[in-house]
Amino acid sequence: MPITKSGSVEGFERAPGVTIKTLTDGDRMMLLEVRIAAGAVVAMHTHPHEQTGRLLSGRLRLEIDGETHDLEPGDAWIIPADVPHEATGIEDCLVVEVFSPPREDYR
């Protein structure tokens, strides 16, 4: 489906305090809305997908391949495939992320 209307997608809990909504899902990429509550953690992990994102609101601590970054609204990142990374909400966060190729577990 090429258009997703606001409020038409149900989210799922990825981890305690972390909710994901898959907004669009194509053959080669996927767009997500991610909400991370203050104190919530997406534990260190890897996956075979390239991932890029932008923090829309809140403050986020992102560890990528052993380097820690404290992010503010407007900051963006890219995480290559198979690189260890972890995210922690410093404040309640709203994030948009793109995965390529799409993640089957988020469909």
pTM: 0.94
Instruction: Please report the pLDDT score of residue 1 as a whole number.
Output: 58
Tell me the C-alpha distance between 9 and 56, whole Å.
19
Provide, rounded to the nearest whole percent, the portion of the chain with pLDDT above 90: 93
Residue 25's nearest CA partner among 53, 52, 54, 3 is: 3
Residue 98 has pLDDT above 90, yes or no: yes
Instruction: Please report the pLDDT score of residue 32 as a whole number.
Output: 97
pLDDT tens-digit map of 60-93: 999 999 999 999 999 999 999 999 999 999 999 9
Instruction: Please report the pLDDT score of residue 6 as a whole number.
Output: 80
Strands 30-36 and 41-45: unpaired
CATH of domain 12-97: 2.60.120.10
Between the alpha carbon of residue 49 and those of residues 72, 88, 90, the distances in Å are: 24, 20, 25
Q: What is the mean pLDDT of residues 27-40?
A: 97
Spatial contact of 87 and 42, defined as CB atoms under 8 Å apart: yes
Spatial contact of 101 and 51, defined as CB atoms under 8 Å apart: no
Instruction: Please report the pLDDT score of residue 2 as a whole number.
Output: 81
Residue 14 has pLDDT above 80, yes or no: yes
Domain range list for the chain:
12-97
pLDDT tens-digit map of 38-48: 999 999 999 99
Spatial contact of 37 and 89, defined as CB atoms under 8 Å apart: yes
Tell me the C-alpha distance between 21 and 65, whole Å.
26
